[in-house]
């Protein structure tokens, strides 16, 4: 093998091919650790779903299939633009590479934007893990129009009780509604709520949250190679960073492919 | 070299392949949503997982170049996924075997010893 001097070949590798394969194996080993990391959460999911199937059936109806499905389509399309970007860098199509990396980054922003909308709705409805879970479809203040508190009808028995100095109100002040009435309305809309629904939201936020962090990390990496591609660092001779960032981005897509049906499409 | 700009390392995936993969992935996403509205009992979960594994395989083989790669990279992925499945399978063997009232309110709902 003739040693043509490639500026990208590190001195401890014999050939660019050897350098590329070594780096690629390293990335795949890293991705394997990522699969194992998420594997722990999938295990938690499996155990809790086996033990509390009714919680998963009940709670999944609070996730928005349309938003989740839109995010799936966005991630799949951004995976295509990423794979195409790798191809463009291999073929030295610099302008196309910059455009495709920008599109991929845009897909990341779109995904996180929709994720933000979803998390905000969960937060507002009290669909939170652990002791923070306090779900009511309608908040007490919105449940009924404001009305003046009216004294309860006084029965003859209580009227004679001299110890009764404060009369109970039939209707709470300024549009509040009794908690059991709220629960009755929720049950009419979603079916009877099983106990421990917060378990589902603990798993939901951990899995989608860890996945969301990976999307953010991937967006950072894409921004980095976008800057480098604008500087003209990549071409048929050297496209390794584009290829490896692409592999990471596809893994993020891969995990979402499993998360979407497991969390949003329970029947 | 067939093409002047063809790289010395890696494999250039043809554009029709990339778009065919995306098309299949989008169709399968639609299928998995549609199937989840039908009731196959306990098989709904396995159908959804089967579709997800199929989609994941497409991403791995074509978007992530495993089809054209050194087989050892595929070996690394398959082993890691097999270990995750082994982990879940062993954990599941006794997941529903705890006494219902050991921790009040937090125990499995499945009765281990129906009378």
Q: State the complex-level ipTM.
A: 0.83
- What's the mean pLDDT in A81-90? 95
* Statement: residue A230 has pLDDT above 50: yes
Which chain B residue shows the shortest CA-CA distance from A259?
B52
CB spacing of A39 vs B83 below 8 angstroms? yes
Which pLDDT score is estimated for A1?
Answer: 46
Higher pLDDT pick, A142 / B31: B31
- Alpha-carbon distance of B38 to B55, in angstroms, equals 20
pLDDT digits (tens, 9 = 90+) for B35-57: 998 888 888 999 999 999 999 99
Closest to A254 measured CA to CA, from A84, A39, A3: A39
8 A C-beta contact, residue A49 and residue A253: no
Both tokens assigned to A111: 């995904």
Higher pLDDT pick, A246 / B101: A246
Closest to B51 measured CA to CA, from A262, A208, A61: A262
Which chain A residue shows the shortest CA-CA distance from B16?
A84
φ/ψ of residue A150, rounded to 5: -115, 140
Whole-number Cα distances in Å, A148 to A138, A155, B84 = 20, 21, 60
End-to-end CA distance of chain A: 60
Radius of gyration of chain B (CA): 22
* Statement: residue A152 has pLDDT above 70: no
Phi-psi region of B7 (alpha: psi -120 to 50; beta: other; left: phi over 0): beta
- Alpha-carbon distance of B62 to B13, in angstroms, equals 8
Q: Taking the complete model, does pTM exceed 0.90, yes or no?
A: no
Whole-number Cα distances in Å, B13 to A45, A65, A87, A179, B25 = 36, 33, 7, 60, 17
CA distance B51 to chain A (A): 9
8 A C-beta contact, residue B96 and residue A50: yes
Whole-number Cα distances in Å, A194 to A45, A172, A264 = 17, 28, 18
8 A C-beta contact, residue A52 and residue B108: yes
Which pLDDT score is estimated for B99?
Answer: 60
Any idea which of A241-250, A254-263, B8-17 has the lowest mean pLDDT?
B8-17
- Alpha-carbon distance of A59 to A127, in angstroms, equals 9
CB spacing of B36 vs A80 below 8 angstroms? no
pLDDT digits (tens, 9 = 90+) for A155-175: 655 555 555 556 666 555 555
| Chain A from 62 to 91: CB within 8 A of any B CB | 65, 69, 72-73, 76-77, 79-80, 82-84, 87, 90-91
Which pLDDT score is estimated for B29?
Answer: 95
Burial class (CB in 10 A: 0-12, 13-18, 19+), A259: buried
Whole-number Cα distances in Å, A95 to A88, A204, A225, A226, A237 = 9, 40, 13, 11, 17
Q: pLDDT tier at B114 (50, 70, 90 boundaries)? A: very low
- Alpha-carbon distance of B56 to B51, in angstroms, equals 9
Which chain B residue shows the shortest CA-CA distance from A130?
B106
Q: pLDDT tier at A40 (50, 70, 90 boundaries)? A: very high
Residues of chain B with Cβ-Cβ distance to A1 below 8 Å are none
- What's the mean pLDDT in A93-104? 96
Both tokens assigned to A218: 């991937």
- What's the mean pLDDT in B58-68? 94
Question: β-strands A169-171, A150-151: how paired?
Answer: antiparallel
pLDDT digits (tens, 9 = 90+) for A173-210: 555 666 677 677 777 777 777 878 888 999 999 999 99
Higher pLDDT pick, B100 / B92: B92
- Alpha-carbon distance of A56 to B35, in angstroms, equals 18
Q: Is B84 on the interface with A (CB under 8 A)?
A: yes
């Amino acid at each position: 093998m003739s040693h043509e001097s490639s500026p990208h070949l590190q001195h401890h590798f014999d050939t660019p091919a050897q350098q590329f394969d070594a780096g690629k194996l390293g990335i795949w080993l890293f991705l394997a650790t990522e699969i194992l990391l998420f594997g722990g959460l999938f295990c938690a999911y499996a155990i809790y779903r086996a033990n509390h199937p009714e919680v998963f059936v009940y709670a999944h109806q609070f996730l928005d299939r349309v938003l989740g499905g839109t995010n799936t389509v966005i991630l799949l399309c951004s995976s295509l633009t990423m794979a195409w970007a790798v191809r463009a860098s291999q073929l030295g199509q610099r302008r196309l590479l910059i455009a495709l990396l920008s599109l991929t980054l845009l897909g990341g922003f779109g995904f996180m934007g929709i994720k933000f909308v979803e998390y905000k709705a969960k937060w507002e409805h009290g669909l939170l893990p652990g002791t923070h879970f306090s779900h009511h479809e309608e908040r007490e203040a919105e449940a009924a129009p404001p009305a003046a508190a009216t004294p309860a009808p006084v029965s003859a028995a209580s009227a004679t009780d001299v110890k009764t100095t404060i009369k109970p109100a039939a209707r709470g002040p300024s549009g509040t509604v009794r908690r059991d009435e709220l629960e009755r309305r929720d049950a009419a809309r979603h079916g009877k709520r099983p106990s421990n629904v917060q378990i589902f939201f603990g798993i939901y936020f951990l899995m989608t949250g860890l996945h969301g962090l990976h999307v953010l990390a991937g967006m950072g990496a894409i921004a980095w190679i976008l800057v480098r591609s604008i500087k003209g660092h990549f071409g048929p001779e050297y496209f390794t960073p584009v290829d490896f960032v692409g592999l990471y981005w596809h893994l993020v897509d891969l995990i979402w492919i499993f998360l979407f049906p497991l969390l949003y499409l329970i029947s | 070299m067939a093409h002047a700009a063809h790289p010395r390392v890696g494999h250039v995936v043809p554009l029709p392949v990339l778009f065919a993969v995306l098309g299949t992935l989008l169709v399968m996403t639609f299928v998995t949503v549609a199937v989840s509205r039908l009731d196959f009992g306990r098989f709904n979960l396995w159908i959804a997982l089967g579709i997800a594994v199929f989609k994941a395989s497409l991403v791995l083989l074509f978007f992530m170049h495993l089809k054209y790669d050194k087989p050892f990279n595929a070996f690394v992925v398959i082993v890691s996924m097999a270990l995750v499945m082994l982990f879940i399978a062993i954990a599941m063997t006794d997941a529903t075997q705890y006494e219902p009232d050991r921790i009040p309110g937090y125990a499995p709902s499945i009765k281990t010893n129906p009378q």
